[in-house]
């Protein structure tokens, strides 16, 4: 759930609740140490709920049945309500089709952090300095959209869709986009600098960034609802640790971009700390 409003002293929660239900906006009125609060069930209703609240504040005499213009509902509205997350997944699917899920190495080389080619049993690639001198700065980002196999892309896409939408609705499109770019580029750079091997990819670094952010932010700002459960957090940490062993490779799951995972997690944690700092500077009620 998403916190949308805190009632001031003397405001009637029941009146606003009636208006929200009249506009088919699912919500819950909950008490807190600062007073009564309105929490939304569906993040896609934030815009409509805000409009209802403004109407209620500005025109309290208006009939409860008066409705505001709601956003479209359905699948299209779900995607349009999280445009950055949707764009990330569309780009990921496009790259997967172009590269045949990582099997077409010639096309894969378009998206790796440095271009490469195979000669005999050897892999040859440019240094990162050479790539950047040629102006191919986009290569710092594009490995995030590369995936190798169906399980790889499905696992990452599901978590981007689940956690990404929640966080995009929580922090806003621009902040979410900036965070995505920073974590994606940072995890790609860390992976290449540490392993010195260009053939890696995936949204896993970003997923771990979302996980770190979703875990820490509600701890720093208790009024933010839980974004990820403790068992899931434990699962991701165990998966991260297993990546540093030979176990996953021995069962056919391949090698993990462990540095990208760890640096993404650290990036997400840093993002949560930054949001907490911003809220404190702004004197937020959270």
CA dihedral (181, 138, 80, 68) in degrees, to 10, reads: 60
Sheet harboring 27-32: ordered strands across? 2-6, 35-40, 27-32
Q: Which of 45, 147, 152, 261 is catalytic?
A: 261
Q: Which of 45, 204, 229, 250 is catalytic?
A: 204
H helices of 221-257, in order, are 230-243, 247-250
User: Can you tell me the distance from the alpha carbon of 161 to that of 181, in angstroms, rounded to the nearest whole number?
Assistant: 16
Q: Is the dihedral of CA 166, 167, 171, 176 positive or negative?
A: negative
CA dihedral (222, 225, 231, 236) in degrees, to 10, reads: -90
Sequence-distant (6+) residues with CB within 8 A of 85 are: 160, 161, 164, 165, 168, 176
Active-site annotation holds for 261:
yes
150-159 and 83-98 helices, crossing angle to 10°:
170
Tokens of 259: 């540095």
SS3 65: coil
Residue in this structure with the two tokens 């091997």, named with its chain if needed? 197
Dihedral class, residue 87 (left if φ above 0, else alpha if ψ from -120 to 50, else beta): alpha
CB 261 within 8 A of CB 194: no
Q: Which residues are catalytic?
A: 204, 261
């Amino acid at each position: 759930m998403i916190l949308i409003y805190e009632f001031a002293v003397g405001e009637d929660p029941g009146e606003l609740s009636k208006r929200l239900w009249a506009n088919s906006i699912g919500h819950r009125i909950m008490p807190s140490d600062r007073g009564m609060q309105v929490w939304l069930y569906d993040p896609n209703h934030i815009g409509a709920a805000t409009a209802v609240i403004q109407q209620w504040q500005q025109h309290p005499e208006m009939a409860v049945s008066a409705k505001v213009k709601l956003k479209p509902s359905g699948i299209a509205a779900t995607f349009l309500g999280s445009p950055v997350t949707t764009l990330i997944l569309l780009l990921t699917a496009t790259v997967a089709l172009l590269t045949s899920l990582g099997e077409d190495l010639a096309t894969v080389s378009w998206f790796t952090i440095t271009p490469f080619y195979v000669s005999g049993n050897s892999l040859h690639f440019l240094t990162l300095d050479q790539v950047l001198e040629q102006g191919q700065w986009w290569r710092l980002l594009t490995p995030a959209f590369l995936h190798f196999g169906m399980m790889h892309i499905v696992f990452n896409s599901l978590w981007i869709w689940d956690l990404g939408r929640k966080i995009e609705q929580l922090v806003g499109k621009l902040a979410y986009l900036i965070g995505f770019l920073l974590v994606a580029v940072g995890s790609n750079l860390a992976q290449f600098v540490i392993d010195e091997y260009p053939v890696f990819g995936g949204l896993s670094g970003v997923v771990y960034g979302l996980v770190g952010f979703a875990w820490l932010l509600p701890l720093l700002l208790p009024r933010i609802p839980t974004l990820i459960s403790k068992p899931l957090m434990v699962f991701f940490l165990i998966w991260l640790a297993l990546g540093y062993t030979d176990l996953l490779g021995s069962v056919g799951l391949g090698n993990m971009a462990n540095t990208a995972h760890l640096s993404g997690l650290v990036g997400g944690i840093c993002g949560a700390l930054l949001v907490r700092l911003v809220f404190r500077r702004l004197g937020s009620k959270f």
